[in-house]
Chains A and B, each alone.
Chain A
Amino acid sequence: MFTGFMPGIHANTIAFMALLLPIDKSTGLAMFIVSMGISHSFFDSLPSILLGAPSEESSVNLLPGHEMLLKGKGLEAVELMAFGGLAAAAFGIALAPLFFSFAKNYSAHFPAVIPALVAGTIALMIIGEKNKASAALVSLAAGLLGIFLLNSGVREPVFVLITGFFGIPGLLQSLSANAKIPEQEMWVHAKAGTGIGFVAAVTSGFLAAFPGIGPSQAATIVKTFYRKITKQEYLILSGGINTGNLFFSIIMLHALGKTRTGMAAALEGAMKMDYMALITLYITAAMSAGICAALIGAVAQYAIVWIKKIDYRKISAVTMIFMAILVLYFSGIAGILACTAAAGVSLFALGSNVRRSHCMAFLLFPTLSFYLGLG
């Protein structure tokens, strides 16, 4: 819950810190890592929806969660993402044997498919924009920045770029646009289809198999091949993919010994992944998802009440300074420079009215380059 609330502090950071502690590397530690990863996937929706909200003037580029916050439906946005996470957990259990078999039998073909999938995703996202030239420019700039930084030796390059692309620009906008959180509905009366939860679980299964494709790219693929989805469905899909990806990464670790998420990488250091460990950790993940889904609505209500009491601009300023300090601490001056460059690319995207999710090319380009043998 703590890592979810604190912008910039990821569950993976705590997991790797836990591995350094002089405690037994055991099932208990692995269960702790899994629970924290799953909880983070639920609770990190709170700062992104409640703290990262830009003003209405920039609504073209707002993520659906922010849009709902500005319409007084922040709690519903949080609950929709939690519903997605819960649905992915439930379907994740049901689909586990199928996915396990898929990973075991077809993993040899993954390296041949991944470059085409990644390139296709980048192309689909650009084609889906009105301003295709700007979208292509954002993708290219983010991709080159990703290739450069990931090979530069700068510590925590992913954190640096995520902060630059997705954290700082929204906060800067909030500061300059005098954003104000409107009155929020404190009760949710909405319905959601389980079908989109199923789609999220299936999609996250494929995400775990194919590195480099993130939730927003997956959502684009789903929108292209499944059907146009509403913003409520997008939130369910997004919440489901975030959580489901962690579930399936446990299977990938056991089936192929591949670490597709930070959580899986930490697990690798915590215990031997035998069949029993797989089942235990999978059930632990589902239990954590259940507890988080049960708690997050109440926590979000408190957070909304608390956030309304304090100056939103001050929160944005403090959050931004905190993130900058973290970047400086983890990655030094080079990190700050890279973060600033990433923020510049992201602000260009905002100014050009193209989706900021094109900035995820910072992971897609290096993946493509790796599988094509270029890097």
Chain B
Amino acid sequence: MEIAIEKTPQMGLALALVCFAALLVLLPDEKAMKISEITSKSIGQTGKVYGTIRGLEFRNDNAFFTLENGGAIRAVFFSPSAEQAAQLRENANAEVLAQVTNYKGGLELIVERVREID
């Protein structure tokens, strides 16, 4: 099939728009979630949670801690990179991007990214 080269910009624009729509659907909505408002209805949701890191433990290359801020929730960060692990400090205030999950009947955050904040 032959295509006129001068149609390249229009074809490019069409491809870009389709992909943009796909990205809107795919990309996680990084909305902020308050710990006190995380309930069983939040399971499956991904968002930013702000809190203080308590009870930090590293076991088998995974990090386990509780995030406190007007409530408390357990969090696990599977195999954080060295750079991400350096962001995890006991009593540090952190912004955590995580998905709410159910683990053994309780709510838990599966951490995707963490950033220490002032």
Contact = CB atoms under 8 A, between A and B. Distances in A.
B70 to A, nearest CB: 24
Contacts of A24: 113, 115
Given A27-B27, A280-B26, A287 B19 contact: yes
A25 B6 CA distance: 39
Contacts, number: 100
A294 B20 CA distance: 14
Contacts of A26: 97, 113
Interface residues of A, number: 39
Contacts of A80: 5
A370 to B, nearest CB: 28
A192 B2 contact: yes
A291 interface: yes
A83 B26 contact: no
A90 B15 contact: yes
Nearest to B28: A27
Contacts of A291: 12-13, 16
B68 to A, nearest CB: 22
Given A26-B113, A193-B1, A86 B6 contact: no
Interface in B75-101: 81, 83-84, 97
A82 interface: yes
A147 interface: no
B4 A190 contact: yes
Contacts of A46: none
B113 A297 contact: no
Centre residue among B12, B19, B22 by max chain A CB count within 10 A: B12
A195 B12 CA distance: 18
Give the dominant DSSP class at B's interface. Answer: helix
A321 to B, nearest CB: 34
A189 B23 CA distance: 34
A76 B6 CA distance: 9
Interface string A259-289: 0000000000000100010011001101111
B23 A86 contact: no
B8 to A, nearest CB: 5
Centre residue among B3, B15, B18 by max chain A CB count within 10 A: B15
Contact of B15 (A86, A195, A276): A86
A79 interface: yes
A194 B1 contact: yes
A287 B15 contact: yes
A187 B97 CA distance: 49
B19 A283 contact: yes
Given A26-B113, A286-B19, A292-B12, A79 B83 contact: no
Contacts of B115: 24
B32 interface: no
A283 B26 contact: yes
Contact of B6 (A187, A283, A286): A187
19 contacts: A25-B83, A26-B113, A80-B5, A83-B5, A86-B8, A86-B12, A187-B6, A193-B1, A193-B2, A279-B26, A283-B22, A283-B23, A287-B23, A288-B16, A291-B12, A294-B9, A294-B10, A297-B8, A297-B9
The 3 closest A-B CB pairs, nearest first, are A293-B12, A290-B16, A290-B15
Given A290-B16, A290-B18, A291-B16, 7 more contacts: A27-B27, A86-B8, A191-B2, A194-B3, A287-B15, A288-B16, A294-B8
Interface of B: 1-6, 8-20, 22-23, 26-27, 81, 83-84, 97, 113, 115
Interface of A: 24-27, 76, 79-80, 82-83, 86, 89-90, 187-195, 272, 276, 279-280, 283-284, 286-295, 297-298
